[in-house]
Each structure stands twice: as structure tokens, then as C-alpha cells.
Chain A
């Protein structure tokens, strides 16, 4: 078990709970998709796992040890995090951005090995031709690959990705998720907070459904049922199967606004 979360509670100073008694476990080699409507706590949960937010109650065990017992640096070597939006102050090249992922390993001067790892990642992600470009000159899809690349440069056991595909076109979506799938197949794990249910069904092994800060249901892909989605999202859907891939087709909101 790479990750074991028990009874996690979190609230932003003094406000009402964003997460309530969340328990999740994840095994090596699996992709876990966290799904749920806006405001259900997906991002907050990822940030708690990534040690970016400190939960008020509950425990997070990483590789069998409590997250609290690790130094910051050690967590950064075990968990790579890709935020939903990154607000940069100043420009940085693709290479420098991915090299930043080596920070937990670098004392001052990056070693030959650090540079080699970064160059390997750039090649693997197909970013060779733009390695010296500023990242704010790139398209959304390329930039997302760069941020995934930075997280990979941390050589983590666990990848956390917050809406990694939300701004991407179909091709880039598949490319980014394929990269993640490929990495996970090499023996790490990943957790995605994701809106796109079809992508979740296509790429993940495990699903956690959040509703109002609590786990509504969790398990394999069979968690995604008409009843669950209706209850969590308030939307009536059809689930169809095509060559063993499940597809969710939305019909209409259950009691939402209708225009006649």
C-alpha cells in the first residue's frame, strides 16, 4: 500500500469543513481518479496529500509511514504535484522548469545526473525542439506536458495531478494521460482530480467519488453507475459499453433549470 488515508478532516481557517472523514487507500501501479462536482473537495484533498495543506484531523501514511514523520525534502522526492493553474511571476524556459523538479536532489549545482534525467524527460515528452523556449510562449497542451515533466523529474512514487486535462484538446488530453499511464505502469502510482468522467473511466484503475467533502463511494470502475452519478452530480446519464470501454453520456439535470 503506497498511500493510506484515514478520517481526514480539513477546513480553511475556521470556515466549514471542506473534507470530512475521508478515507482512501491506494496500491502501487494504480491510477486513482477522484471525481465529484465543483466544490466537492477534490483539489483540497490533493493538496492535503501533497503536504501543501495540513489537515486538522486524520492521518496520511505514505509507504507505511506517517507523512508528518518525513522532512519536506523527502516528501518532495516521493510526491510530485501538478497544480491546476500555475501563476508564474517571471518567465522560465522549458528546460529550467523541468530542472526545477530536481530541486529536492540538488544542493546548489545540478549534477550530470540531474541534467541527464531532465534531458531524458524532455525527449520522452517530445519537447526537444522547444526545450529552450519560454513556457509562456507555449500552447496549453505543451505547457501541461512541461509541468508533468517537472513532476516526473522529482522521480516520485506518487504523482498528484489536479485537472491535468481540463484545458486541453482531445489529442493533448490523450497524450498527457498516456504519459501518466506509462509512468504508472513502471511501478509508481498516480491520483488525478478529474472532471471528465470518460477520461477517468478510460485511464484509471480506481475511482473515488466525492460529494460535499465526503467519500460517497469508492472502488473499481464499477463505482460509476447511473444511480451514483445522479446522486452526486444531480445529472441523469446513460452508461454504455463499447469494446469494454465504459462511456458516460449525459442526458439532463435531474431537478435543474429546464428551458422550454
Chain B
């Protein structure tokens, strides 16, 4: 009888986590409907629901399907991808300060994307208006972003193997790597033509304004399998949280799990950066908020961070594009305003937070 009680208590605890997952989904759907309806043209939620069925006034359907929905879906995917990259990096490096942005992976990816345009010529300048470069080769840009993201990831991983590498050391190294690539990007801009410069500058602060259906397709193909991989391996990441030795004794291939995890989280970050530029702090903040509410069990932490992260970035983007309308703020600015204070809080609180 008493054993049943212990099990019941645990199942009650688990059902709270499931409830949080459901609430996050509902929150995401509400954000989605509101976000599609808010903007410079007045559209009601009613119109939005109609437009899903391709009904209603033609111009509204056009705006909803061609402008609003790609942007909203991109925000969802970017938020999801950055959050799972953050969860994975925090677990793999056993470091509460880990995320693509704080470890310099995002900056490296942005440098890779910019160098693809300026050095490898991935953008064409034969555009109709003289002030923009058509980025006609998203694959080359993404691959270059991924390559440089891997370079910084390799740096972080080899540093993390050092015996005296504390979480703080790693983040300091990440800041150094980030600065290095930011400097690289700035120097690239000296060699860029004015037109290229305009294209390149966009990678320095994240903006979801360039979302198209093609970008969305590429992101789905890359990010959804990565999400499934992490959810599928959540027991391995749980084991990793208990330390390498314990994880090994539980049958986890620690080196493989760590390598694959870093590789995939860097890929997720690189793809998002190559389409939207650096959106800082999402990968750091979201896992912490979710962990505070439902605890550290990766089986729930990973999917909940994905959903909550999607809603978080979508809400941020909606605020960013309406707060000082008609000016549209890049969402990266807003997430940095939200994320930087939390980052400082974590640094000050340090280990006692855990």
C-alpha cells in the first residue's frame, strides 16, 4: 500500500509536467492567433480563422498567407530551435550558462553567413532595387554558417575537457569566441560593397522580417528531425546530468551522445542564424524558465522548452513589431533586453541557484 502511495505521488508530479506542456501548447496557439491578427493592416482574429480556410476578403487572405503566416511560423521554428539548442548545450556541458549565443556559436554562424555573401559570393546584386542583395543561395549561406559554428563548437568542446574548466570559464571563452567572430564580421564589412554591407549588417541583430515560405521549408527539414532526436535521446541527457561516470555505468555512450548533441544543436543554431541573424538569449532564458516550473527531467524539459520557446519568441516578435509602430524593431533587440538581466542574475546567483 505504501509503495503504491509513493508511485501515486510520483505520477501526480508527472501529471503537473504534462499539464505545463498542455498549457504551453494553448499559450502558443493564442499567441499565434493574436500575432497573425496584429499588424499595420487591421485584421481580426475572426478574419484569421476565416483565412485559414482561404475564405474572406482577398487582400486579407493575401496578407495573412504571404506576410503574416510565414513570419509567425518562422518565429515559432526559430524559438523552438534556439531553445532546444540551449537545453542540449546546458545538459551536455552541464553548464547552466550554456546557449548558442553565450558560447559564441551564433556569432560564428553569423560570420559564416556573412562571409558566404562577401567572400564566396552567395548573394547576387542584380536586384531590382539598388539597395538590396538577393540572397539567392540559402544553402551555401547555411552551410558556411554551420561550418563556422562547428569551428567554435569544437573550441568550446575541447575547452570543456580541461579539468579546471568551470561553467564560468566556458562562458568567458564563449564571449572571447563571440568577440573574435564579431570582429571578423566587422572586418568583412570593410571589404563589402555598400550593397553587400546592407545585406550583411542584418546578421548582427536578429530579425524575422525576411521570412519566406522557402526559408520555412528548409528550417522544418532541419529543425524537426533535430527536435525528435533530442526528445528520443532525453534519457541519455538525463543520465548525462548525473555526471559522465554515472552515465557510462548506466550504459550511455557518453562521447557519442555529447558529440552528436553538440553537432545537432550547433546545426540548429546555424540554420536559424543564417536566415534571421543573431537572436540572443532565447536559448539561455527559455530552458531556465521551464526548468524553474517543471524541474530538470529532460523527458519533459526538452519538449516543453521547444513549445514554450516557440511561444516566447513569437510573443517577443509580436511585441517588437507593434510596440513603437509603425517602426518595426528587430526581435533580437527585445530578446536581449529580456535576456541580459537574467543572464546577469544567473552569474551573480551562481551555483547556489541550483
Interface string of A126-141 (1 = CB under 8 A from B): 0010011000100000
Report whether B94 and A87 are in contact in the complex, using a CB–CB cutoff of 8 Å.
yes
B190 close to chain A: CB less than 8 A = no
Residues on the B chain within 8 Å of A116, using CB: 3, 7
Could you say which of B11, B242, B249 contacts A50, with CB atoms under 8 Å apart?
A: B249
Q: For the complex, what is the distance from the CA of A79 to the CA of B238, rounded to whole Å?
A: 19
Report whether A115 and B96 are in contact in the complex, using a CB–CB cutoff of 8 Å.
no
Residues on the B chain within 8 Å of A160, using CB: 249
B59 close to chain A: CB less than 8 A = no
Interface centre among A77, A103, A118, A150 (most CB of B within 10 A): A103
What is the size, in residues, of chain B's interface with A at 8 Å between Cβ atoms? 35
Could you say which of A52, A93, A123 contacts B248, with CB atoms under 8 Å apart?
A: A52
Q: For the complex, what is the distance from the CA of A136 to the CA of B296, rounded to whole Å?
A: 13
Report whether B13 and A93 are in contact in the complex, using a CB–CB cutoff of 8 Å.
yes
Could you say which of A97, A100, A103, A123 contacts B3, with CB atoms under 8 Å apart?
A: A123
Which residues of chain B in 312-354 are interfacial with respect to chain A, using CB atoms and an 8 Å cutoff?
Answer: 354
Interface string of A104-133 (1 = CB under 8 A from B): 101010000001101110110000100110
Main DSSP-derived SS at the B contact region: helix
What's the nearest-Cβ distance from chain A to residue B337, in Å?
26
Closest to A135 in B: B242
Q: For the complex, what is the distance from the CA of A222 to the CA of B308, rounded to whole Å?
A: 63
Report whether B6 and A122 are in contact in the complex, using a CB–CB cutoff of 8 Å.
yes
A75 close to chain B: CB less than 8 A = yes
Report whether A89 and B94 are in contact in the complex, using a CB–CB cutoff of 8 Å.
yes
A10 close to chain B: CB less than 8 A = no
Q: How many A-B residue pairs have CB under 8 A?
A: 121
A51 close to chain B: CB less than 8 A = yes
What's the nearest-Cβ distance from chain A to residue B246, in Å?
6
Residues on the B chain within 8 Å of A73, using CB: 251
Residues on the A chain within 8 Å of B295, using CB: 91-93, 96
Q: For the complex, what is the distance from the CA of A205 to the CA of B297, rounded to whole Å?
A: 39
Residues on the B chain within 8 Å of A83, using CB: 243, 245-246, 249
Q: For the complex, what is the distance from the CA of A88 to the CA of B248, rounded to whole Å?
A: 14
Residues on the B chain within 8 Å of A36, using CB: none
What is the size, in residues, of chain A's interface with B at 8 Å between Cβ atoms? 46
Report whether B249 and A81 are in contact in the complex, using a CB–CB cutoff of 8 Å.
yes
Interface string of A29-54 (1 = CB under 8 A from B): 00000000000000000010011100
Closest to A74 in B: B251
Could you say which of A50, A88, A92, A131 contacts B6, with CB atoms under 8 Å apart?
A: A131
What's the nearest-Cβ distance from chain B to residue A168, in Å?
19
Which residues of chain B in 254-313 are interfacial with respect to chain A, using CB atoms and an 8 Å cutoff?
Answer: 291, 295-297
Report whether A52 and B245 are in contact in the complex, using a CB–CB cutoff of 8 Å.
yes
Q: A residues bordering B, Cβ < 8 Å?
A: 47, 50-52, 71-77, 79-81, 83, 86-93, 95-97, 100-101, 103-104, 106, 108, 115-116, 118-120, 122-123, 128, 131-132, 136, 150, 154, 160
| CB-based closest 6 A-B pairs | A76-B251, A89-B94, A81-B249, A90-B296, A119-B6, A119-B3
Complex A-B: 28 CB contacts under 8 Å: A50-B249, A72-B252, A76-B251, A86-B243, A86-B245, A87-B243, A88-B243, A88-B354, A89-B90, A89-B241, A90-B94, A90-B241, A90-B291, A91-B296, A92-B241, A95-B13, A100-B242, A104-B250, A115-B7, A115-B10, A115-B11, A118-B6, A119-B4, A119-B10, A128-B2, A131-B10, A136-B354, A154-B250
